[in-house]
Amino acid sequence: MVVALALAGGTCARDRLAPDGARAYRRVVTQVEAGPRIPGTPGHERVRQWIASELTRLGAEVENQTFVDSTLGAPETLINVIGRWRPRGARRDIAPIVLCAHYDSRPWADMDPDSSRHRTPIPAANDGGSGVAVLLEAAEMLGQRPPPRPAELVFLDGEDQGTPGNPGSYTRGARGYAARLREPRPRAAFLFDMVGDRDLAIYPELISVERASSVVSMVLAAAEATGARHFHREPRYHVVDDHVPLLDAGVPAVDVIDFDYQAWHTMADLPDQVAPESLAEVARVAAWLVYESPLARTP
């Protein structure tokens, strides 16, 4: 069928559902050029408004989920941006499939080999920018063809403001989202984080395997179905990420992540570390999950 051809990398000119890696890459550049996306900064607000405007343009029902978080001491306003699509005529009691990524950026390059840069905000091309770009590619497809069941794209705030040794200082936007889940609760959630590496290698993440193995298997099935060459079957890395608050809330959730990234939390996390081909490959996987996976079947 046409969708399967597209997601497997078909080249039919009439095929409108194939993700565009070059467009996704430009969106990574747009985020980096906006400046640091630290909550409360102009760059953060510019990117938040840009995401919301893109979702609106592509036909989503858009919510700016605003809440106050005091995890780091002083109260801080965080804003998750949520885009929702529904099949035409769908019942309101059908649980959505959720795709998510964080859009904030790290305030400190604390892993940079140059210690003089440790207090400098990172560019966050891959760590933040790539996940946003993949979700917006999914939004492009959702804007052209309704999903078979409700789909929700969640751009999470406050993921990367934490400090080493204090896991609770991370994933604050995801905790806010998980605390405000509405009925029907998500059928499953897929987190995309650091998925644009030009040397892409994605392995099942260990917390995901331990707590949502069936959904991990769905990601591997998506990779096989779409010809994704950089997804591997053996589990690797234990990552506390935005999927954990969702798991804690009872939502099957997995972290799709390439954690072997040399520029992680450094000033080298620039667009030249990101490849359009990687973004397109991961976007095909995301689209298959929404359109073709067993999860996409109703009810």
The pairing of beta strand 188-193 with beta strand 97-102: parallel
- What integer pLDDT is reported at residue 9 of this predicted model? 47
Which residues, at least 6 apart from 134, have a Cβ–Cβ distance to it below 8 Å?
24, 101, 192, 195, 196, 279, 282, 283, 286
Classified as helix, coil or strand, 141 is helix
- What integer pLDDT is reported at residue 252 of this predicted model? 98
- What integer pLDDT is reported at residue 238 of this predicted model? 96
The pairing of beta strand 61-69 with beta strand 76-85: antiparallel
Amino acid at 125: A
Give the residue ranges of the chain where pLDDT is below 70: 1-16
Burial 200-230 (b: 16+ CB within 10 A, else e): bebbbbebbbebbeebbebbbbbbebbebeb
The pLDDT tens digits of the residues spanning 5-32 come to 356 544 333 345 799 999 999 999 999 9
The closest of 153, 194, 152, 173 to 244, measured between CA atoms, is: 173
Q: CB-based burial of residue 119 (10 Å sphere; 0-12 exposed, 13-18 middle, 19+ buried)?
A: exposed
Neighbouring-strand partners of residue 99 = 153, 190
For the chain, what is the mean pLDDT? 94
**Residue 37 token pair:** 């996306």
Q: What is the dihedral of CA 167, 173, 176, 181, to 10 degrees?
A: -120
User: The domain 19-294: what is its CATH number?
Assistant: 3.40.630.10
- What integer pLDDT is reported at residue 107 of this predicted model? 97
Report the run of H or E that residue 106 belongs to, with start and end: none
Q: How many CA atoms lie within 13 A of 41 on its CB side?
A: 18
The pLDDT tens digits of the residues spanning 283-297 come to 999 999 999 999 998
